[in-house]
């Protein structure tokens, strides 16, 4: 059984993951609109991953006998200066999510909730990958600078990203 505090914090995290999905869906739409199908693909896969994160927590709250309560999802930004702006905002958002996951772990430790501590380890590891991916793409965008050909080459590279469902999830 989850404590009230733990359940509320996990429900908040479901909302943050749903907002993440919404934000990346919006970046995907923007990328399509400015003629960058590879970036659009990358962000759409990111959207799917975030939905998976939300569902992972949703299932966990249910499995532990808690009640999932869904909250309103904030409206995401819909216009961006350029590709660098999208990825800098993505990195900043992921750093916020990492902080939020770390706070959940702190709470699970405080509540002596061992099951939730173990559950959250997957998210701790995932955040290393998420921030790493964003930093890699930001580094490439810095090299590209104002070079249009470079941007189109990176767009082609991002078009190759495929969605790999998480097999550890109940919804996989
Ligand atoms: Fe982007 O990792 Fe979930 O939110």
pLDDT 10s digits, 80-126: 999 999 999 999 999 999 999 999 999 999 999 999 999 999 999 99
* Cβ(113) – ligand 1 distance below 6 Å: no
* Cβ(13) – ligand 1 distance below 6 Å: no
Q: Which atom of ligand 1 is nearest to the CA of 94?
A: 1
- Report the alpha-carbon distance of residue 150 to residue 24 in Å, rounded: 23
Residue 154 maps to which CATH number? 1.20.1260.10
CA of 149 to the centre of ligand 1 (A): 30
Mean pLDDT (the chain, rounded):
96
Task: Answer whether residue 70 is part of any domain.
Answer: yes
Task: Answer whether residue 62 is part of any domain.
Answer: yes
Task: Answer whether residue 165 is part of any domain.
Answer: no
pLDDT confidence tier of residue 61, bands split at 50, 70 and 90: very high
CA of 95 to the centre of ligand 1 (A): 10
The burial of 97, by beta-carbon neighbours within 10 Å (0-12 exposed, 13-18 middle, 19 or more buried), is given as buried
Domain count, the chain: 1
What does the pLDDT read at residue 171?
Answer: 54
Q: Which of 10, 17, 96 to mutate to test the pocket of ligand 1 (most atoms within 8 A of CB)?
A: 17
What does the pLDDT read at residue 161?
Answer: 96
Give Cβ neighbours of residue 70 (< 8 Å, ≥ 6 apart): 11, 14, 15, 18
Task: Answer whether residue 88 is part of any domain.
Answer: yes
CA of 15 to the centre of ligand 1 (A): 11
pLDDT tops 90 at residue 172: no
Provide the residue range defining the domain that includes 140.
4-75+83-159
Task: Answer whether residue 170 is part of any domain.
Answer: no
Using one digit for the tens of pLDDT, what is the confidence trace for 65-78?
999 999 999 999 99
Task: Answer whether residue 102 is part of any domain.
Answer: yes
């Amino acid at each position: 059984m989850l404590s009230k505090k733990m359940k509320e914090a996990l429900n908040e995290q479901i909302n943050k993951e749903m907002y993440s999905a919404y934000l990346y869906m919006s970046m995907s739409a923007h990328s399509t609109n400015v003629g960058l199908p590879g970036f659009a693909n990358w962000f759409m896969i990111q959207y799917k991953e975030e939905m998976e994160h939300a569902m992972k927590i949703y299932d966990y709250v249910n499995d532990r006998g808690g009640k999932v309560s869904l909250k309103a999802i904030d409206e995401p930004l819909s216009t961006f200066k350029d590709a660098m702006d999208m990825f800098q905002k993505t990195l900043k958002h992921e750093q916020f999510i990492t902080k939020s996951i770390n706070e959940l772990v702190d709470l699970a430790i405080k509540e002596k909730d061992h099951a939730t501590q173990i559950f959250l380890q997957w998210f701790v590891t995932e955040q290393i990958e998420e921030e790493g991916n964003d930093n890699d793409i930001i580094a490439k965008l810095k090299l590209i600078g104002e070079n249009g050909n470079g941007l189109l080459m990176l767009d082609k590279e991002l078009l190759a990203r495929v969605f790999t469902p998480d097999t550890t999830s109940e919804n996989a």
